[in-house]
Chains A and B, each alone.
Chain A
Amino acid sequence: MSARYGMVIDLDRCTGCGSCMVACAAENNVPPATSRATPRTGLTPMLVRKVSNGADGAAKREVFIPISCMHCGNETPCVSVCPQQAVEVDKATGIVMQMPQRCLGCRYCMVACPYHARYFNWWDPAWPAGMEKSLNPGVAVRMRGVVEKCNLCHARLHSAMEKAAANRKKEIDPADYIPACVEACPTGAILFGNLADKNDGVFSAAHSPDAFRLLARLGTEPKVYYKSGQAWVRALAERDSERAKESEHV
């Protein structure tokens, strides 16, 4: 198997409901935030941000931008900096993998990430009594003091590969591997698939005229694309664009 898994997120369809964030947290055993957590210390491998065009009154426009790890394919910033190889790019899938079991918690990768898509476990993971029964048995809980991030629901990929192996198939069925955020989006704003496969819907969506990537000029080849018919939204791709002045977390 040799794929380049990625996503195309249609921002014109995103309503900012946050379903993707909830689904991500439930799938990946992200613990509930403690009372002391702030928007900057919480664990949100998928984070929906609200961005405005900076205008007032009738001219004001807003867009919701879901941000997760971009799974950079070239000179991946977080991979080269990790001192103990706790981050790697899976050559078979293009997924940037984080190994919390090996993480020192130095947070150098977080400093290196231009998308701020990496999160540190500032607290011990804890669930309200009884809620631990809802944990996903396929995903290991991360301990305090390590970094985590979106791994494109790698546990689901494993399940799909196990299923394919049981059926004596070399390739997985694309229908068996869909990340939780994609599955949960009520408006179907997130397309997921193999960017290297020209027959995959995600390939054509990524190559549509409305598609863009954030900070593409850095040359890190992110594998998460965005799509919008609105010029001011597309202009958010780079800093020297028509700049949005207001931003806040949902």
Chain B
Amino acid sequence: MSELLVVDRRWIARGAERSSTTRFLLWLVPWVALLALGIYAAGLCLYYGLNQTNMDNRFAFGMWIFLDLAIIAMGAGAFFTGFLVYILKQADLKPILNSAVVLGFICYSGAVAVLMVDVGQPLRAWFTFWYPNTHSMLTEVTFCITCYLFVLILEYIPVLLRNRQLRKVPSFLVFEHQLHHLVPVLAALGAFLSFFHQGSLGGLYGVLRGRPFAFRQGFAIWPSTFFLFILSAIAVGPSFLILVTAAAEKLTGQKLVQPGVFRKLGLISGLLLGVYVAAKAIDTLIWLNITSRAVGFAPWDFYSYKPFGSALLFLEIVPLGLLPAFLLTVPLTAKKRGWLLCGAALACGGILLNRFVLTVQTLALPTLAFDEFLKYIPSWQEVASFAGVIAYGVIVYSLSYRYLPMFGRVKGADTNVSVG
């Protein structure tokens, strides 16, 4: 045990204040247990098949797809912060960049892991690259997410190599230095890939001609949900970053970033959210009055089934859209940490609801005149697998926080903050 304590202290950056080894291990125990349960549940799904889930022929997508779409939107903070810092030269956001990269890496790698369990034949995943259907939004999603995950790994490696012990390896230093030069290119590439896959995730449902609740008109080959997903992801990414950083500050009892960083992220998030809500409202009006009417579906065909009533649409647009946009933008509330965090939480809640509506409500609603409204409740294996992903995220973030320079200059670590 004493050796463990020594090793732990050696790997923490010199001068950095971190909790005791025992306390840190105690913090990790429940998350490791949850991760183990998640791996067991995912193992059941892989070994016995997807009959371990409560999905079926009618509810062919379930909780996993909903939460995948949600965490990928939350992870947008990574590429968008990189875009703001390196492309738009917002240098004051640099202190939070490493944290954004780690968060993005967690969200994307977690989503890809869940997707691998969610398909019936995971060993055939490479078929998409070998026999790509260029008309499919899922092909676009697969290509962009895979490429962007590699970009995130390349962005994460330099953060990793700044660890106190790893820096002692000369070749690692050289590698990190070389990668550092690539950072602006990676940020630009990441932004390009992310814009596309966030959009194609929206397009995934928007192109479904056979599902009038999801189908949307659009521009060229892209339905309007393509653009709405990009907008909502870049609006909510900074909010999620605020929430996670604030949670880290609370848990560690340390001030990790200057209040100005939160204010700026909040302002960006709020403004973009305002634009998104306006675009979403216009899109909803066009869809309800023109697109779905043209194929014989009236608004009450979508909103007369409880609990998916029109209240859900109102909740998404006003309390979880306009309200957080207001709280994050108006100086009176944005200056106060409590209101800022409240606005960020509501914004994240709004995107969660949006992804839920598009994935779950679409499948619950009838299409044929004699179809019934469907219900679906995920099995414990589905819940546990996803809980495992959350545990994985907490563990990776905790380890990164403990051993890597996540926020600004850490005394004694001899490092500048950057993606690379």
Contact surface of A with B, Cβ cutoff 8 Å = 34, 36, 38, 40-42, 49, 51, 65, 75, 77, 80-86, 102-108, 110-116, 118-124, 143-147, 214-215, 217-220, 235-241, 243-244, 247
Contact = CB atoms under 8 A, between A and B. Distances in A.
A111 B211 contact: yes
B19 interface: no
B57 interface: yes
B370 A51 contact: yes
Contacts of B362: 111
B207 interface: yes
A147 B131 CA distance: 17
Closest 9 CB pairs of A and B: A105-B120, A145-B120, A114-B210, A40-B56, A107-B60, A110-B60, A83-B138, A77-B210, A122-B51
Contact of B209 (A122, A147, A219, A237): A219
Contact of B131 (A65, A85, A217, A244): A85
> Chain B binding site: helix, strand, loop or mixed by DSSP?
loop
Interface in B133-177: 133, 135-139, 142
Contacts, number: 174
A100 B70 CA distance: 30
B57 A120 contact: yes
B293 to A, nearest CB: 9
B220 interface: no
Interface stretch (B23-31, B78-86, B121-129, B180-188): B121-129
Given A146-B121, A239-B368, A243-B369, A81 B57 contact: no
B42 to A, nearest CB: 15
Nearest to A110: B60
Given A84-B133, A146-B120, A240-B296, A111 B208 contact: yes
Nearest to A80: B135
A40 B142 CA distance: 28
Interface of B: 49-51, 55-61, 118-121, 124-125, 127-128, 130-133, 135-139, 142, 204, 207-212, 294-298, 301, 362-363, 366-372
Nearest to B204: A108
A112 B368 contact: no
Nearest to A107: B60
A104 B119 contact: yes
Contacts of A115: 210, 367-368
Contact of B208 (A112, A215, A235, A239): A112
B301 A104 contact: no
Given A83-B128, A239-B301, A41 B121 contact: no
> Chain A binding site: helix, strand, loop or mixed by DSSP?
loop
Given A111-B61, A247-B370, A104 B135 contact: no
A105 B118 CA distance: 9
B121 A244 contact: no
B121 A103 contact: yes
Contact of A236 (B124, B301, B370): B370
B134 to A, nearest CB: 9
Given A107-B60, A118-B57, A239-B297, A220 B209 contact: yes
Given A40-B57, A240-B296, A84 B369 contact: no
A49 B59 CA distance: 18
B120 A103 contact: yes
Given A108-B136, A120-B57, A145-B50, 20 more contacts: A81-B136, A81-B208, A83-B133, A103-B124, A104-B125, A105-B50, A111-B61, A111-B208, A111-B363, A122-B51, A143-B121, A144-B120, A147-B120, A214-B368, A217-B295, A235-B369, A239-B297, A239-B367, A243-B369, A244-B370
A84 B51 contact: no
A82 B136 contact: yes
A42 to B, nearest CB: 8
B369 A236 contact: yes
B57 A241 contact: no
B127 A104 contact: yes
Contact of A239 (B119, B133, B363, B369): B369
